[in-house]
Amino acid sequence: MLRRVLFCCCLLALMACTPQPAAPQFKGSDISGVAFGGNFTLTDQQGKTVSLADFRGKAVALFFGYTHCPDVCPTTLLEYAQAMKALGPQADRVQVLFVSLDPARDTPAVLAAYVPHFDRRFIGLTGSQAQVDRVATQFKVVAQKVATEGGGYTLDHSAGSYLFDGAGNLRLYQAYGTPSAALVHDIRELLR
């Protein structure tokens, strides 16, 4: 009986000494478990209805912007394009989604000419203004039209992006200006 007790104690001590996998150390802000976000459905650049759930099994980067954006949007898309190159074969397990906050101008055809320019795997999403507004609100994204000379407009909008793990869980917020090396690091952590 004493031998059994000693054996069990030794076994428990060994199990306690077994190293556990380290928790991910992210560069972006870990927002796991937040009470916002979730699935949505919009129209892609080919005119097909897609939902966030369609990309389960992949890490997903979600960014909101518009094609007439002079700086923030192309910069962020370039950072993700560089990250995809750096990921090499792992990039096949990543999906970048660009949701247009300007559906009046960003039709599927416009998105098809713009978004894949950064990386052929990137997908542009649009919908009615009400659909886009609903998804933006769902992710706490704000956008406001600013009139320009000649009757045009720009959009002031939230500039960060979100990363989801392969199970479809919202995990990270990446601030605008996050370098591609940090994106690569965090995406690799999500793909582990």
CATH of the domain at 164: 3.40.30.10
Q: Report whether pLDDT(53) > 70.
A: yes
Q: Report whether pLDDT(22) > 90.
A: no
CA-nearest of 173, 164, 163, 187 to 82 is 187
Domain interval for residue 38: 27-191
Tell whether 4 is covered by a domain. Answer: no
Two tokens, residue 31:
């927002």
- Binding residue positions for Cu cation: 69, 73, 157
Tell whether 115 is covered by a domain. Answer: yes
Tell whether 13 is covered by a domain. Answer: no
Q: pLDDT tens digits for 109-141? A: 999 999 999 999 999 999 999 999 999 999 999
Q: Report whether pLDDT(48) > 50.
A: yes
Per-residue model confidence (pLDDT) at position 100: 98
Tell whether 22 is covered by a domain. Answer: no
Two tokens, residue 11:
């076994």
Tokens 């990250």 correspond to 83
For the ranges 7-21, 111-125, 141-155, the lowest mean pLDDT is seen at 7-21
Tell whether 78 is covered by a domain. Answer: yes
- Binding residue positions: 69, 73, 157
User: What interhelical angle do 72-87 and 180-191 show, nearest 10?
Assistant: 50
Tell whether 110 is covered by a domain. Answer: yes
Tell whether 90 is covered by a domain. Answer: yes
Alpha helix locations (H) across 37-123?
72-87, 108-114
If one compares 92 and 22, the residue with the highest pLDDT of the two is 92
Provide the residue type at 16 as one letter: A
According to DSSP, the residues that pair with 173 across neighbouring strands are 29, 162
- Domain count of the chain? 1
Sign of CA dihedral 183, 98, 117, 146: negative
Q: Summarize the confidence of residues 45-74 as an average pLDDT.
A: 97
Tell whether 1 is covered by a domain. Answer: no
Q: Determine what percent of the chain is predicted with pLDDT higher than 90.
A: 87
Q: Report whether pLDDT(13) > 90.
A: no
